[in-house]
Amino acid sequence: MKTLKPISNLDRIEFLDILRGMAIFFIFTANIPFFSGLWFFEPDHPTREINLASDEALRYIHYVFVDGKFYSIFSLLFGIGCVIQYNNAISKGVSFASFFNKRMFWLLVIGLIHLFLFWAGDILTLYALLGFVLVWFVKKSDKTLLITAAILILTPILNWAFMHYTKINYYNYLFGIENSIYAYYNMPTIKFDGGMMPNFQFYLQNENILNLIKMNLGNGFGRFGMILEEGRFFKVFGIFLIGLWTGRRILNGNLLTQKPFLKKVFWIGLLIGLPFNLTRGYLQFYADKNTLNEFLHVLCYALGTVPLALSIAAGIALLCLKGNRFLKLFTSVGKTALTCYLVHTLAGIVIFYGFGFELAGKYGYTIVMLIAAMIFLGQVIISSIWLKYFRYGPMEWVWRKLVYRLS
């Protein structure tokens, strides 16, 4: 019986580890506003201890250049990784579908534990679910991949139009389950946008770990309600397909050495993506809330996020070709991405929640981002030391053991 072994360190592509490490950092900066209470405590809230003049500008810049872009890059990397795994399986004469489905099953288990017990912002569950579908596309033609990807990335616009004009907000079913779970455990809710939502100030300030678990059981359903509402299923899978195409070009066409192509992707993505994202930032923070602006926000997100994400990825590839030493600092985190991603949740809970150091709501955007940077710097140092003695990060090792030994 033929068996498949993990890809060796010698076969790794350094650029992908660098890009993955950067994506992990910026995904954390996109998530820490939840952990820290930035989304739920206004600057004039009594708990706020420090606001800085730079907070407002930093929030806008972060929204324009980070929000949505780096989980898009992470989605791209997921598709690229799928191609690498496919080539590895085929070269060993092993069934790729069987192997990849095992990987996705155990990723789903890890994701569900993370989602329902620790933090509703989990992305592993969504990636695993879509990964089961991605297997069907791994042999499709390049043309099919790119056309399907374009349609899926634009589908959130149709999703919004369908809900707006039919008044069929199908995602409300999951929000209903969320509120039912909150009611069952007698957890507090608040009125929001004509409906009910969890009281996240209580969630962050509560001092009972058991309450955290009870509330996360509901928040997990709310999370998928939000994913359905914004059509993220379509967008993420579309980027997966671009990742398949990109992975083929990296492995078979030396894409990462093609400077003219990378420069074209960088400039075209920037010229298309930046105006849409600047407009989206204005609509989010400064424009009136009405139907037209809501539609324009959805439109800008659909048309601008992926081009700017691809521009960033291409720009990093060009810097890697120049031998940029600073970027190599992200390599160790890129190799231990699953571990570092899950540690972000642990750090967020311990630092900000009520049964930790109780810092939720106390600091503005600038200080919160500095905290994120300090945590990440610690991960760079620790993961670099760890990899001198071990081949994989702790959770990477667990995942591989589950896939290669127990399945």
Q: 2 lies in a domain?
A: no
How many C-beta neighbours within 10 Å does residue 33 have?
A: 18
Rounded distance between C-alpha atoms, residue 148 and residue 181, angstroms: 37
Q: How many domains does the chain have?
A: 1
> What pLDDT, on a 0 to 100 scale, did the predictor assign at position 3?
53
- SS3 state of residue 52: coil
Residues contacting 130, CB < 8 A, separation 6+: 233, 236, 237, 240
Which of 216, 246, 272, 291 has its CA nearest to residue 75?
Answer: 246
Does residue 270 sit within a domain?
Answer: yes
Beta strands in 229-353 (DSSP E): none
Give the Cα separation of 37 and 203 in Å (integer). 10
| Ordered per-residue pLDDT tens for the chain, 407 residues | 455 555 444 457 999 999 999 999 999 999 999 999 999 999 999 999 999 999 999 999 999 999 999 999 999 999 999 999 999 999 888 899 999 999 999 999 999 999 999 999 999 999 999 999 999 999 999 999 999 999 999 999 999 999 999 999 999 999 999 999 999 999 999 887 777 889 999 999 999 999 999 999 999 999 999 999 999 999 999 999 999 999 999 999 899 999 999 999 999 999 999 999 999 999 999 999 999 999 999 999 999 999 999 999 999 999 999 998 899 999 999 999 999 999 999 999 999 999 999 999 999 999 999 999 999 999 999 999 999 999 999 999 999 999 987 54
For residue 241, being part of any structural domain is answered with yes
Say if CB 121 and CB 219 are below 8 A apart. Answer: no
Asked whether residue 227 is domain-assigned, the answer is yes
Residue 369: inside a domain: yes
Domain encompassing residue 83: 9-406
Residue 4 placed within a domain: no
Q: Closest Cα to residue 102, out of 128, 130, 68, 71?
A: 128
Report d(CA 294, CA 351) in Å as an integer: 34
- Asked if residue 142 is part of any domain, the answer here is yes
- Provide the β-strand partners of residue 191: 196
- 1 in any annotated domain: no
